Structure 1
Amino acid sequence: MSHTIEDKQNLLARIRRIRGQVDGIERALESEAGCAQVMHLIAGVRGAVAGLMAEVVEDHVRTHLVDDEKYPGALDTAATEQLLAVVRTYLK
């Protein structure tokens, strides 16, 4: 998974932000915050994890499935963009 190594610092930064959000949920529960506040915090984490997944999937597709240098003309670029748009939408 060379693409994850290349983007290692960005991915780690996202994970650290997600960890901070999860810590926020824990603090909210410990302080007996209201249900609405806790649900908003959980929704934020869910969105952050989905965004991380979308980024890794997109990099995977671009690196392993449509690498023009390795496989010139193997797949339709427009089809790739359509697939990635669907994945991004699904993971929101």
Structure 2
Amino acid sequence: MSHIHEHKDELLNRVRRIAGQVQAVEKALEGDADCAKTLHLVAAIRGAVNGLMEQFIEAHTREHVAHPDLTDEQRAQGAEDLLQAIRRYSK
């Protein structure tokens, strides 16, 4: 998983931003914030998680499905791993 380690700091920053957004929703709920404001906060979280997922899908596809040094078996496993993640994500 060297491709993850290469972008570790960037990924951690994205995850930390998402955690901050989740905390903002918690504070909004605790503080009885306006429904519309809270709705926008939740929508922003979804967008951030989608962006993170897209980054992982792209990295996984390039490294574990499309990389020219992979065997057919490795490509098949990479594709299956990707499909399982997408199925779980889309539920």
Percent of paired sites with the same residue: 49
Q: How far apart are 1:30 and its partner, in Å?
A: 0.9
Larger relative contact order (CA 8 Å, sep ≥ 6): 1
Aligned equivalents of 2:42 and 2:29: distance in 1?
11
Structure (1 or 2) with the greater helix fraction: 2
Structure 1 residue aligned with 2:18: 18
**RMSD value, Cα:** 1.6
Q: CA deviation digits over 1:4-60, x for unaligned, max 9?
A: 111111000000100111111011111100111111000000110010000001000
- The unaligned stretches of length 5 or more in structure 1 are 72-86
Who is 2:75 aligned against? Answer: none
CA distance in structure 2 between the partners assigned to 1:48 and 1:18 by the alignment = 6
With structure 1 as the length reference, what TM-score do the two structures score?
0.72
Q: What CA distance in whole angstroms lies between the structure 2 residues aligned with 1:30 and 1:66? A: 47
Q: Gapped runs of 5+ residues in structure 2?
A: 71-85
Pairs within 5 Å for 1:1-92: 1-68=1-68, 70-71=69-70
